[in-house]
Amino acid sequence: MRMVTASGRSRWPIVIGAAVLVVVISGGIAYTATRPTPTPNAAPSTATATPTPIPAGTAGPGGIGDDVAPTGCLGGQDRNVNMVLTAQTDAKHTTYGAVEVATAVYRWLWQYPNPPASESDTIGSEVVSSTASAAWKDVAVQYESDEWNTIIADYKATGGSFHTSSTNGLWRITEDSTADRVNVELALGYVIDGALSPTRSTGIGLVLVWEDDAWRIESGTSVDQTKLAAGGTRYTAGC
């Protein structure tokens, strides 16, 4: 998941427009967006409207079957590597399982203070697929990039912190997903200095493959923010 190429050029170019900060990760993107401040008694926008969930027991892309709908909290409340590994172990061979693993990885990934380098190494060896590129396997180096240090600069200067929350988050499975290869799009909320922000969100697209009896991250993909906002599904719980 390297932010820089071998030549030192960034893999995370930042594009700012329409109040969205987009960060490219090895061919996929993570983005942060500033949501409009809610207006009392106003009808919800497509970004906050409740989407229509896929009924449990109905086969969708990849064969959802009768698995439990994603809670957004598989693996537990913590944001450490043990949480991710637990989610990976507990996730079923279903699209719901792929969503849970993707969510656990992103909850771990997008936080400051940064995760320990030893945890990044474990994610790269245990959660990233063997077929992933070297850039994706080198998770720790992303936290050394200029782009990441720009993102965390204000928090670092003030002693602040941030992480993500799947509470009120959205997930979406793209139409080209299969039983063993699932493209997951996520949008999660920002928790800044311990408080869930009413205006900020962040998202990512991840491709997961079923390998050695577990879901693993193979690559990233661009998020269709319009489809995710209008047709994404809420987590059933969140943390």
User: What does the pLDDT look like over 21-60, one tens digit per residue?
Assistant: 334 333 334 455 544 433 333 222 223 333 333 333 333 4
pLDDT tens per residue, range 129-165: 999 988 889 999 888 888 888 889 999 999 999 999 9
The DSSP result for 80-118, as a single string, is: SHHHHHHHHHH--SSHHHHHHHHHHHHHHHS-BSPPPHH
CB 2 within 8 A of CB 141: yes
- The pLDDT value given to residue 32: 54
Which of 42-51, 64-73, 89-98 is predicted with the least confidence, judged by mean pLDDT? 42-51
Strand partners, 202: 32, 188
- The pLDDT value given to residue 31: 52
Give the mean pLDDT of the chain. 77
Q: How far is residue 168's CA from residue 50's CA, in Å, rounded to a whole number?
A: 9
**How far does the chain reach from its first CA to its final CA, in angstroms?**
24
CA 161 to chain centre: 18
- 223 pLDDT band, cuts 50/70/90, is confident
Cis peptide before 113 (omega within 30 of 0): yes
What the block records as the tokens of 20 is: 């969205």
Looking only at the bridges linking them, the beta strands covering 28-34 and 195-211 are antiparallel
- The pLDDT value given to residue 206: 93
CB 142 within 8 A of CB 25: yes
What the block records as the tokens of 152 is: 């965390």
127, pLDDT greater than 90: yes
CB 108 within 8 A of CB 188: no
CB 74 within 8 A of CB 90: yes
63, pLDDT greater than 60: no
Q: How far is residue 96's CA from residue 231's CA, in Å, rounded to a whole number?
A: 16
Q: How far is residue 131's CA from residue 33's CA, in Å, rounded to a whole number?
A: 31
Burial 178-210 (b: 16+ CB within 10 A, else e): eeeebbbbbbbbbbeeeeeeeebbbbbbbbbbb
- The pLDDT value given to residue 49: 30
